[in-house]
Amino acid sequence: MLLALDIGNTNIVVGVFEGHDLLHSWRLSTLRQRTADEMGIWVIQLFSHGGLDVNAVDGVVMASVVPTLTRPTLEMAKRYFGHTPLVVDGGAKTGMPVLYEAPAEVGADRIVNGVAAFERHGTVGGRPRALVVVDFGTATTFDAITSRGEYLGGVICPGVTISADALFERAARLPRVDVRKPAAVIGRTTVGSMQSGLFYGYVGLVEGIVERIKRELGSPAGCVATGGLAEMIAPETAAIEAVDRDLTLHGLRIIWDRNRG
């Protein structure tokens, strides 16, 4: 079995694979002060809940965009699972050329998503195609993958939750609201108006940016989405053709396989 860990700014996603099959996945809040022992006990409890044998794990792969949690996670994997993790960063063999002007600046999660998206969604009728990958995380990111499987670049926007928090913090008379689809675009209350702006504002943002990226790619391209709000936003726009909830975990598994040869 393979233990895959995706450490993001908002959530830590834990996945367990047997071969290519994802047996279990869990999403928990990111707490930057966790120690290696806290994380070890936490993951072992997840294994127990899922009826999995800790001793059956024969490899660990991880990607982290939270530096304060990278070392504790490495220590946890060694101490509780007896394996040194493959860390997906500039030194890992991803199989995806990065055309960024400064490749080291690209977040590991974005490369992992690109690898998984191209492997799982990058072929139609036996022919490769370009892709746009949208990740609704702490930030909303758009990544452009060429039809040759190259990471070209992308767009980084404030996430939906960040925008909602900014409205509450910077406007004295506006309340804090949950991000959800409102009953109508035209709000008849302050909360309804804010929810409409947040929800349909991001629908419009996705449609506009995806269309512009596709034009710059210059070839027919698909679009796949992942992240916490993907399943809420995707049904409202034809710009997104598929939602892949566990895209990052599958990318970690694919990169693990490539590094194992």
In a domain, 256, yes or no: no
Residue 257 annotated among the catalytic residues of the structure: no
- In angstroms, the CA 19 to CA 22 distance is 8
Verify that 34 and 109 share a domain, yes or no.
no
- Please compute, for residue 86, the number of CA atoms within 13 A of its CA located in the half-sphere on the CB side: 23
Count of domains in the chain? Answer: 2
From the candidates 21, 89, 109, 257, give the one annotated as an active-site residue: 109
Domain of 66 in residue numbering reads as 2-87
Verify that 72 and 146 share a domain, yes or no.
no
Verify that 81 and 120 share a domain, yes or no.
no
Q: What is the CATH number of the domain that holds 221?
A: 3.30.420.40
pLDDT at 17: 98
Verify that 189 and 145 share a domain, yes or no.
yes
pLDDT at 261: 66
pTM: 0.91
- In angstroms, the CA 203 to CA 201 distance is 5
Reported as a single tens digit per residue, the pLDDT across 92-127 is 789 999 999 998 899 899 999 999 999 999 999 899
CB atoms within 10 A of CB 244: 20
Verify that 27 and 132 share a domain, yes or no.
no
pLDDT at 93: 86
Verify that 52 and 127 share a domain, yes or no.
no
Verify that 111 and 25 share a domain, yes or no.
no
Tell me the mean pLDDT per 10 residues along the chain, length 261.
94 95 93 92 94 95 94 95 89 87 91 97 94 95 97 95 88 86 93 93 96 94 94 95 96 94 66
pLDDT at 4: 97
Backbone angles phi, psi at 74, to 5 degrees: -60, -45
